[in-house]
């Protein structure tokens, strides 16, 4: 990500708009699968990016602004990410950069808020395979594809620490069967029909994290949807500087968006007839001081996924982030559309 020259909101406003541009194409779920080897026509994946890419980049842009302020002040400890709240308004495309506009909402010594609008050009980059050239920043922009509010808080001592029982204890019998990386890799696209056609395709080029899905079939048998769980082990693919605390937080938020609504489609019985699945909004809360979200080079973290509600074609997803020591570090909440193809005959599958 590169910093662009600042702008102002208007002639009458002195508040700067701090601008950034992404450099590399976003990952596209399913694009790496060998569709031609199984005689299936490639669905209209187009160049639709994994939504967590722009989610994380928008938050990172706000983070770099706040960190720069902290570095130039004498307030002591740096502010860490406290929460992220985003609305997805248009699909992101992988053949052009995201242009990120950061503005201040509120700011105090201990707590502050930034607003980020992410937009893309109305035309592909002159180098769509990346890295995107600086000239892409001058291209005409479309409407926002994501609008996000990010809050930051300074660390404080905790007068108490109360949480639920971690999955390492609740599912000890299942998790003790194998080492984390002996479970199957997280599917590139976790849809039942595609897992039948592409059973051994591994991770693909999914960036940043190494992820494995625990087989919870027996545990979920006979349970209602809100009672079912999915567990994902994950760790960093490459070391990340420990002092870049907020980048570690964003890795957790990036992970928690992976395949969640697609897994819901499988549990709803849409796994061989999925017509549409897309996130509408995604919030992520860090419950501890941000330093406690830092991942060691070979630490295995756990994402615990559940879906407490489904109605009106929309599912609510809850993702609890657990440290290797069993500490509940963060929680993600999503609301998204999940529909079978049969609700609209002739609709092509969208991933």
Statement: residue 87 has pLDDT above 50: yes
The HSE-up count of residue 345 (CA atoms within 13 Å, CB side) is 0
Mean pLDDT of 275-284: 95
* Residue 11 pLDDT: 56
Lowest mean pLDDT among 79-93, 197-211, 224-238, 276-290: 197-211
Spacing of C-alpha 137 from chain mean position: 24
Task: Decide if pLDDT at 350 tops 50.
Answer: no
The pLDDT value given to residue 337: 97
Q: Whole-number mean pLDDT of the chain?
A: 92
Percent of the chain with pLDDT over 70: 93
In the prediction, which pLDDT does 46 show? 60
pLDDT of residue 31: 87
pLDDT in tens, 248-258: 999 999 999 99
Nearest to 206 by CA among 226, 187, 219: 187
Does the pLDDT of residue 266 top 80, yes or no? Answer: yes
Comparing CA positions, the residue from 118, 52, 56 lying closest to residue 247 is 56
Whose tokens are 């694009």? That residue is 31
Structural domains of the chain ordered from first start: 1-155 (3.10.129.10), 166-351 (3.10.129.10)
Average pLDDT over every residue of 104-109: 91
Confidence band for 106, pLDDT divided at 50, 70 and 90:
very high
- For 186-242, what is each residue's pLDDT tens digit? 999 999 999 998 888 888 889 999 999 999 999 999 999 999 999 999 999 999 999
pLDDT for the residue 342: 73
Give me the half-sphere count of Cα atoms (radius 13 Å) on the Cβ side of residue 237.
Answer: 11
| Cα 318 from Cα 227, distance rounded (Å) | 12
């Amino acid at each position: 990500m590169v910093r662009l020259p600042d702008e102002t909101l208007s002639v009458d406003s002195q508040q700067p708009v701090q601008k950034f541009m992404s450099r590399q194409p976003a990952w596209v779920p399913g694009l790496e699968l060998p569709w031609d080897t199984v005689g299936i026509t490639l669905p209209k994946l187009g160049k639709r990016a994994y939504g967590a890419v722009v989610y994380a980049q928008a938050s990172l842009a706000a983070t770099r602004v706040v960190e720069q302020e902290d570095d130039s002040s004498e307030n002591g400890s740096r502010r860490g990410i406290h929460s992220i709240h985003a609305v997805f308004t248009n699909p992101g495309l992988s053949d052009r950069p995201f242009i990120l506009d950061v503005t201040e909402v509120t700011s105090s010594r201990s707590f502050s808020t930034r607003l980020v609008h992410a937009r893309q050009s109305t035309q592909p980059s002159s180098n769509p395979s990346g890295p995107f050239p600086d000239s892409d920043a001058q291209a005409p922009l479309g409407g926002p594809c994501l609008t996000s509010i990010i809050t930051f808080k300074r660390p404080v001592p905790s007068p108490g620490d109360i949480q639920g029982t971690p999955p390492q204890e609740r599912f000890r019998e299942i998790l003790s069967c194998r080492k984390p990386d002996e479970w199957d890799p997280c599917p590139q696209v976790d849809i039942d029909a595609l897992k039948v056609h592409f059973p051994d395709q591994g991770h693909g080029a999914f960036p940043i994290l190494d992820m494995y899905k625990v087989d919870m079939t027996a545990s979920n048998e006979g349970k209602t949807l809100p009672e079912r769980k999915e567990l994902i082990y994950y760790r960093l693919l490459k070391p990340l500087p420990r002092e870049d605390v907020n980048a570690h937080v964003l890795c957790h938020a990036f992970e928690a968006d992976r395949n969640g609504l697609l897994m819901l489609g499988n549990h709803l019985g849409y796994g061989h007839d999925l017509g549409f699945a897309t996130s509408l909004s995604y919030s992520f809360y860090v419950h501890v001081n941000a330093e406690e979200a830092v991942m060691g080079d070979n630490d295995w973290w756990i994402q615990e996924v559940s879906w407490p509600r489904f109605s009106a074609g929309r599912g609510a997803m809850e993702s609890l982030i657990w440290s290797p020591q069993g500490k509940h570090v963060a929680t993600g909440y999503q609301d998204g559309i999940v529909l079978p193809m049969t609700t609209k005959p002739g609709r092509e599958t969208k991933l």
